[in-house]
Chain A
Amino acid sequence: MALLPIWFLAILLSTHAYAYVDPGTGSIVLQLLFAAVASSYFWFRRALNLVKNILRKLKP
């Protein structure tokens, strides 16, 4: 009986039941962010390679 309040608290504080949680939305938001980061990463890498190539050609 002494544990009853803890049980109530646990029920009140519990997050949404697993079956009703939507894992997809967070994944989509993250995917948009990751894709943008990846896109910029490859853009910078290409730019850097371009500069490196130019500098190499300029070297006597």
Chain B
Amino acid sequence: MMKKNPASFRDATNFIFHYNEEIFRAIHKEKNSDYDALVQSKLFDRFHEKKWLLPHKEVQLTDRIFDGYTIIQPTFLPIVSYPYEWCFSQLKESALLTLDICTEALREGFILKDASAYNVQLFSGQCIFIDSMSLSRYEEGKPWEAYRQYIMHFLAPLLLMKHVSIELNSLFRIYNEGIPLQLTKKLLPTHAFFHPFVFLTIYLHEKFERKYSTASTKKSGVLPKKNLHSMLLALREMTAAIRIKPKISTWSEYTENNNYEEKAIQRKEEIILNMVSSLPKLKKVLDMGANTGRFSRLLQLHVDHIISADFDPYAVEKNYQLNRSAGHKNIYPLWIDIRNPSSGVGWEGKERSSFLERTQSDLILFLALIHHLVITENIPLEKIAQMLASQSTYLLIEFVGTEDSQVKLLYQTKKPNHSYNMEKFEQAFYSLYEVKNKTLIEGTERTLYLLQRKPCI
């Protein structure tokens, strides 16, 4: 049974579809003559070698509905994420990759017709371009079709993250087509425009957009290839120069500043490793409240892929940097607030699926999070258990006892609306899960539970 991907409908020349639980791309032979030219140019091969472009192979599908189409099968992407879930560095690397592909393609007589941040994904530990059909033949003198999109998808959010708030890539959740120039211009502080290229690409760009916004003023122009090349280089230079100051937030340094003694942390790691080794080989693990990813890295050799999610963007940034420098290829640090995870957005709310839809896992790691949700956020234990049981088969959860100093601290600032103690915790979770292992972390008030969802749930 063939099913078109709900996010693949804007380009009339090709589309992504699901067939027998695999993913393919159908390229219309008549509407898209660029494909054959690209194959002949060996550009795909070169980009695959450089690990810039997600590898694909041409396949034959016998179904008659594919007559008139060339079918390619891209390598399977285990985890899909969106720019509103990325840290600063992931968005910046995606921007640079987009420009590098465009510049290299231009040398061979091709160009990118899209510069969408959604065309880049994290794969095997690095950013990779996934839309092979964004490449098309370059026509001499024609301006870059995707220029405006590059500014709205990359330059504007990166500048806003640097100058205003690191959290402003969240604007992608509202603006599916990229961050509007008018809004960017309003939000950026005046000193940001002292950079001549920022002045040109944002301030003046927005002015020009308004000035030429009516059909009567329509103008076209010739952009010599040499100038186009210089413009791509200038965009690359200015993008590469956007840096955020490392900031110490409560959670980005939490691994170092918590109430755990080093011995207890080591014991916790041992218990977690033991618990995970007792399970069948896990393909997908979701580490919720991962902080800077200490426990994701602990498990990275034992599982196929780990989504390492946290609500503190600085912790996610640090997690990303640590994995990059250590060369870990199967950890996906994402900026997710579990109290409000990304919903489905775009056309029919289906163009970009929700975080929970994308991250159904074999195991959820839910360490030292539950007391915050119940005491501070007023989420009842039953609701947390239900949500977790809907997301994974196994759950490794840390219960922080009422005598724990951190819990006492929370009680000092707020009286919880819902009951929170070990008995209530076990009541809520045991109704949905079977206990495989329950171990107290010696020297602490904390207990680790390995739970398996009951078959009837």
Contact = CB atoms under 8 A, between A and B. Distances in A.
A34 interface: yes
A25 B218 contact: yes
A35 B200 contact: no
Contacts of A42: 230, 233-234
Contacts of B231: 31, 34-35, 38-39
Contacts, number: 90
Interface stretch (A3-11, A16-24, A52-60): A16-24
B195 interface: no
Contacts of B218: 22, 25
A16 B218 CA distance: 15
A38 B201 CA distance: 11
Contacts of B204: 30, 33
Given A26-B205, A30-B204, A16 B213 contact: yes
A30 B200 contact: yes
Nearest to A15: B213
B214 A32 contact: no
Contacts of B148: 23-24, 27
A23 B209 CA distance: 5
A2 interface: no
Interface string B216-247: 01111101001110110110000000000000
B211 interface: yes
Contact of B234 (A26, A27, A28, A38): A38
Interface in B142-156: 143-144, 147-148
B147 A27 contact: yes
A8 B28 CA distance: 50
B209 A34 contact: no
A27 B233 contact: no
B223 A22 contact: no
B212 A41 contact: no
A51 interface: no
A32 to B, nearest CB: 5
B143 A26 contact: no
B39 interface: no
Among A16, A20, A29, A30, the most chain B Cβ lie within 10 Å of the Cβ of A30
Contacts of A12: none
B144 A31 contact: yes
Among B219, B221, B226, B230, the most chain A Cβ lie within 10 Å of the Cβ of B230
Interface in B186-222: 196-197, 200-201, 204-205, 207-215, 217-221
B200 A33 contact: yes
Nearest to A20: B215
B102 to A, nearest CB: 13
A33 B204 CA distance: 10
A24 B214 CA distance: 10
B215 A22 contact: yes
A28 B220 contact: yes
Given A29-B208, A30-B205, A35 B214 contact: no
Contacts of A34: 197, 200-201, 231, 234
B221 A32 contact: yes
Contact of A28 (B210, B219, B226): B219
A47 interface: no
Given A30-B201, A34-B231, 14 more contacts: A22-B214, A22-B218, A26-B205, A27-B148, A28-B147, A28-B219, A30-B200, A31-B231, A33-B200, A33-B204, A35-B230, A38-B197, A38-B231, A41-B230
7 contacts: A16-B213, A22-B215, A25-B219, A27-B205, A27-B208, A28-B221, A31-B147
Interface of A: 15-16, 20-39, 41-42
Q: Please provide the 9 A-B residue pairs with the shortest distance between their CB atoms, ordered closest to farther.
A: A38-B234, A26-B209, A26-B208, A35-B231, A35-B227, A26-B212, A25-B212, A39-B230, A27-B148
Interface of B: 143-144, 147-148, 196-197, 200-201, 204-205, 207-215, 217-221, 223, 226-228, 230-231, 233-234
